[in-house]
Chain A
Amino acid sequence: RKEVEQDPGPFNVPEGATVAFNCTYSNSASQSFFWYRQDCRKEPKLLMSVYSSGNEDGRFTAQLNRASQYISLLIRDSKLSDSATYLCVVNPRGSARQLTFGSGTQLTVLP
């Protein structure tokens, strides 16, 4: 089983739609969770950290479910500019301080 697994998509949604991505991780000792965004032919950039209590940043909401070992990203009121690949990032070995990236979920927001 991969350490971090994501649905590759692609997700094609109309502008204004709500879309959600899930990411599962295999090691229950994982302590840190992030979502990165990667535009086509660009480098990844941090979108948001994921906290145990869940967190929200504008139209983006991230949640962590430790019992089921997954994190989620919800995007409300999708914009054309949200089109990108969303990478789930996990620290799979707890204190070992190594970040492992998922393969990414591709989102295309259509006009």
Chain B
Amino acid sequence: EAGVAQSPRYKIIEKRQSVAFWCNPISGHATLYWYQQILGQGPKLLIQFQNNGVVDDSQLPKDRFSAERLKGVDSTLKIQPAKLEDSAVYLCASSRGQGNEKLFFGSGTQLSVL
């Protein structure tokens, strides 16, 4: 079974630039999550989709972050403009359903904002 695919693996940008991350969840998984993990901390949920609808985006900084899940499959997360404090690993995860099930994570995108 193919895992969660993410790209790019690494990204280096200057502050105030824009960046986008892409995620392809495991086939058939209805729920998709984007997490931000700052060095030394646990992953923090940014947004959760159920199919192509948003379930929870309460911790997404909406003035600069946006996300969409086209046709309930792939998803993109965008930051515009980036700030220094956005430097982190952005992890995409998927699960079969919503809620208390096993999350499968992608390898993440390591973002450095200079």
Contacts and interface: CB of A to CB of B under 8 A. Distances in A.
Interface stretch (B18-26, B75-83, B96-104): B96-104
B18 to A, nearest CB: 25
Interface in A60-111: 87, 91, 96-104
Task: Report the contact-size class of chain A (Cβ under 8 Å from the partner).
Answer: 20 to 34
B45 A98 contact: yes
Contacts, number: 44
A54 interface: no
Nearest to B33: A99
B107 A42 contact: yes
B59 to A, nearest CB: 9
A97 B98 contact: yes
A43 interface: yes
B98 A101 contact: no
B41 A44 contact: no
A55 interface: no
Interface string A22-41: 00000000011000000000
A3 B107 CA distance: 26
The majority secondary structure among interface residues of chain B is loop
Given A43-B91, A43-B107, 12 more contacts: A4-B42, A43-B105, A44-B43, A46-B103, A87-B42, A87-B43, A98-B56, A99-B100, A99-B103, A101-B43, A103-B41, A103-B42
Interface of A: 4, 8, 31-32, 42-46, 87, 91, 96-104
Interface of B: 35, 40-45, 48, 55-56, 91, 98-100, 102-103, 105-108
16 contacts: A8-B40, A31-B100, A32-B99, A43-B105, A44-B43, A45-B105, A46-B102, A87-B42, A97-B99, A98-B45, A99-B45, A101-B42, A101-B43, A102-B42, A103-B42, A104-B42
